[in-house]
Structure 1
Amino acid sequence: MNIKIGTRGSKLALAQSNYVLEKLKERFPENDYELVVIKTTGDLDQNRPLDALGSKGIFTDEIEKALLSGEIQLAVHSMKDMPDTLKEGLIFADPWDREDARDVLILNDSKSLDELPSGANVATGSKRRSYQLLALRPDINIFPIRGNIDTRIRKLREGLPDGTKLDGIVLAAAGLKRLGLESEISQYVSIQDMIPAPAQGTLAIELKADNEELLKMVNSFSDEVIRNITYLERGFLKKIGGDCHLPIGAYASVTDTGYELRALFGTEDGSKIAETVVSGEKATEEMIDKAVRDIKRQLEE
C-alpha cells in the first residue's frame, strides 16, 4: 500500500508527521510512505490575527480536501487546531500520542510570570491565554502575535514589526518539546492557573471514513486513557457551542477514582469567564454535560 501523509510545512507539523510516519513504518514495513506538504489558509495569511480569519478550519481545510480527493491517505494535525465537526466522509483515528498539555512562558529577562515588572509586554495569539494571563497579572500588557514557533521566539528577541519590545510570549509546551526546544522555556504554567485548549498536545490523525484497512492499522496504536481524555476535552468543546472567537479551555486527567475534567469558557471580550471542575468514575457524556451546565449557570448569574 502506498500511504501519502498530508501535513503543513512548519517544523512542528513536519516533526509530528514524521513521527507518525516512522511509527507506521516500524510496525507495517511492507507499505510505502511519503510526506506531502500542503499550504493552508492560515499559513498563507500571516498578517491578520487568527480570530480575524474566521474559520476554525484555517489550518485544515486544504488538507481535508486532499484527503477527500484521494491525493493523500492520512493527515496529521495538532488536535487543538481541529474544528469540533469534521467534513462529511472524514474521521479521526483513535488518538494515541499526547505530549505535555500545559502552556509555557518564554521570557527575555525574567524567570517567571511573578517576576515580570508591572507594565510588561507579553504576546499571545490566543484569547484563552490572554484572559487567563490577565487574571493572574492584570498589570501587564497583552499583544497579538502570529507565526510558527521559531518566528514567535524571534519576535520575542527582536521585537514586533511595529517596534514594540516584548518581555515574554506564551506557547504550548508540546510544540517546544517535540522540536527539542525545552531549554527555551522559562516557566511551565500550572493547569490550575491556565487551562489549556481542548486536546492541546494531542496528535490528530485523520482519514477517509471508508478506508477501513488503514484505520485498522492506525488504531493498532490506540491508547485507552488518551482516547478517554480526548473524548472529554473535545466533547466539552463541541457541547459548549463556542467558536474560534471565544476563550475555551478543557483539560482532562486520570485520578485515583476515575477522571477529572477542568473546563473554561467565556465571552469574546473576556468580561465574563467561567471555570468548573467535574469528576466521574468513567469518561462519560454525563461528565461533559455537567461541566457545560456549570459553566452556563455561572455565565448567567
Structure 2
Amino acid sequence: MQVALNEDQRAIRDALDALARPFEEAPMHEAPLVAASPDFARALAESGFLDVACDPDLGTATAGVVVERLARLPFAVEAATRAFFAPLLEEGSGPVCLVEGTRTPRLVRFLEPGACVIVLEEQGVTCFTAGEGQLQPEPDSLFAYPMASLLEIPEERTALPITPSEARTRARAALAAEAAGLMAAALASVCAHLSERTQFGRKLATFQALRHRLAEAQVRTNGAYWMAMKAAATLDPADAALAAWHAQESATSTVYDFHQFLGAMGMTLEHPLHFWTYRLKALIGELGGRGASAAAAADALWG
C-alpha cells in the first residue's frame, strides 16, 4: 500500500510544524524531569489538529502523522490517545487516557482532573471523567510525562461504540506513532551532540564504531515510522500489533545506545535527551509490553 503523505497530510504537517515551532527548543542545563507547556497544550487543543480522525477524508492515517510530529517536541502533550479515539468521544474533552482493566492504584500518563479515562476490558470499552478524589498527582515520576496515580475507577461509566479488539488496535497504532516520533527526536539530538563533541582530536561522529550503531538506530527508527504509518492507515490488528512490537523492541535497544553515546552527560538531566528516552521507557511497558504486542501480532497473522 501507499503510505507516503498525500497533499492534505503534508499541508497539515506543515501547519502543525508552524504552530509547534516556538516550542521546539529544549531546556538545557538543569533541564526539568518533566517538560510541559500549558500554552502549547492550549493552542493545540484550539487548533483542531487532534480531531483530524473525525474527518473521513483524513482519518487515523492523518492522526498518525500528527501524533508522530508532536512526539518529537521536548514538551510532552497528550495527543496519541485523543487523536486516535477522537471519533468516539465528545467534542472538546480534555486529555484522554487509556487503562487496561480496573486495577488500582496505577500510574497513568496525562491523568488530571477532567481527563477522559478510557477503560479497556474484555467485556467492553467504557469511559469516565476523572475527578480530583480519584487521582493523586505524581510530580516526581521518572518517565518525563505528567503522571498521576489513578486511585479509583467508578462503577458507572459510559459505554463506547467500539469493541475491545478495535480499541486495542487503535491504542497500538497510537503507541507506535508516538514511539516513532520519540525515537526520531532522540536520534536527532544524539547526532547533533556527536557532531559537536570532540574527543582524541576528532569529532565523535567520525568514529566508525559509533557510526555503525547510529546507522542501526536510523534503520530501526525508519522502520518504526513506516510501520506506524501503515498501522494508522489500515487499523488492521496485525499491522498495529507488529508496529507496536517493533517500536517497543527498537526503543529497548536504541535508548541504551543513545545514553551511552552521550557518556557521563547521558546520565544527567543537563542534556534534553531524557525527554524522549524516558518517555520511550514508559511506552515500552504499555499495553502489556513487547511480549503482549508480539503475541497479538502472532494471533492476528496466524490465528
Structure (1 or 2) with the greater strand fraction: 1
- With normalisation by structure 2, the TM-score equals 0.31
Structure (1 or 2) with the greater helix fraction: 2
